């Protein structure tokens, strides 16, 4: 996977960027990175941004290619507006973020990008290399990171799991402050026992699989 450095995303680095794109399986710039590299002025509307992103994706897939054989994946991250997934064999697809832009559950965006990319890579493994499904895993992974300042909590008890709406405006059960080292070790041990017994892991009192299914329904609409 190649994630370009924003400081290097300017027209002077376009040739190097395109050469790098041909040497990786997954290329994942932000839309700001793409616009900077290709000298595209950022449109004033979300619709305009989406159209410009799709045009840039088409150019890269058709005229540049991602991967040595051109069959790699381009993932363009658009912040709260979701992400675009593009391949030569499957075309371009948009995937929403788990939380809408104005969600009260979003507390801190620090680490959201890394969490998405980590979830995306894990999703590629789980889905046998399907990047469109893998994007859902990435979005769910990021959703747990943005709910608090610091790391999400590994939840020890299934009785705390909330039954939420697709927008998840249920109260936050997990404390936003980090627990003491002893309590953290105890909670992690209980969580491991729970996972062994149920086959499911919970973070912030919620199951990733539940969020995945909710997001899958939204993405299909």
Provide the residue-wise pLDDT of the chain in tens; the chain has 221 residues.
999 999 999 999 999 999 999 999 999 999 999 999 999 999 999 999 999 999 999 999 999 999 989 999 999 999 889 999 999 999 999 999 999 878 999 999 999 999 999 999 999 999 999 999 999 999 999 999 999 999 898 876 554 444 443 333 333 333 334 445 666 566 556 555 545 544 567 899 899 999 999 999 998 87
Residues 103, 2 within the same domain: no
Give yes or no: residues 78 and 163 share one domain. Answer: no
Tell me which residue of 168, 171, 160 sits closest to 205, measured CA to CA: 160
Q: Verify that 128 and 200 share a domain, yes or no.
A: yes
Same domain, 146 and 38: no
Determine which helix (DSSP H) or strand (DSSP E) holds 91, and give its type and residue range: strand 91-95
**How does DSSP assign 17-50, residue by residue?**
HHHHHTT-SEE--BHHHHHHHTTPPPPSSHHHHH
Strands 91-95 and 26-27: unpaired
Indicate whether 68 and 148 sit together in one domain. no
Largest CA distance in the chain: 56
Q: Does 129 share its domain with 71?
A: no
Residue 160, pLDDT score? 46
Do residue 40 and residue 60 come from a single domain? Answer: yes
Amino acid 193: pLDDT: 56
Mark which of 95, 124, 145 sits at the end of a domain. 95
Structural domain total, the chain: 2
Do residues 199 and 171 both lie within one domain? yes
Do 110 and 216 reside in the same domain of the chain?
A: yes
The pLDDT of residue 177:
41
Which pLDDT score is estimated for 135?
A: 97
Residues 64 and 89 in one domain: yes
Last residue of one domain, picked from the residues 44, 67, 95: 95
How far is the C-alpha of 194 from the C-alpha of 198, rounded, in Å? Answer: 6
80 and 145: one domain?
no
Cα-based angle 156, 193, 140 (whole degrees, multiple of 5): 55
Residue-number span of the structural domain to which 113 is assigned: 98-221
Taking 3-state DSSP, the helix, strand and coil percentages for the chain, each rounded to the nearest 5, stand at 50, 10, 40
172: Cβ contacts below 8 Å, ≥ 6 apart: 105, 147, 148, 204
Final residue of a structural domain among 74, 95, 116: 95
Indicate if 107 and 61 belong to the same structural domain: no
Alpha-carbon radius of gyration of the chain: 19
């Amino acid at each position: 996977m190649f994630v370009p450095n924003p400081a290097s995303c300017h027209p002077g680095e376009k040739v190097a960027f395109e050469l790098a794109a041909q040497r990786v399986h997954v290329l994942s710039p932000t839309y700001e990175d793409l616009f900077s590299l290709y000298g595209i002025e950022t449109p004033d509307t979300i619709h305009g941004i989406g159209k410009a992103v799709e045009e840039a994706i088409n150019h890269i897939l058709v005229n540049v290619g991602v991967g040595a054989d051109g069959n790699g994946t381009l993932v363009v991250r658009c912040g709260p507006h979701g992400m675009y997934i593009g391949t030569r064999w499957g075309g371009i697809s948009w995937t929403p973020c788990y939380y809408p832009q104005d969600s009260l559950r979003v507390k801190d965006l620090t680490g959201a990008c890394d969490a998405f990319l980590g979830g995306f890579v894990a999703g590629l493994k789980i889905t046998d290399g399907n990047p469109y499904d893998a994007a859902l895993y990435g979005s769910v992974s990021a959703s747990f990171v943005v709910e608090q300042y610091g790391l999400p909590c590994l939840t020890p008890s299934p009785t705390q799991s909330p039954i939420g709406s697709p927008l998840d405006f249920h109260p936050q059960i997990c404390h936003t402050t980090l627990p003491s080292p002893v309590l953290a070790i105890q909670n992690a041990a209980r969580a491991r026992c729970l996972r062994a017994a149920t086959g499911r892991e919970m973070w912030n009192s919620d199951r990733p699989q539940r969020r995945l299914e909710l997001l899958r329904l939204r993405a299909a609409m």
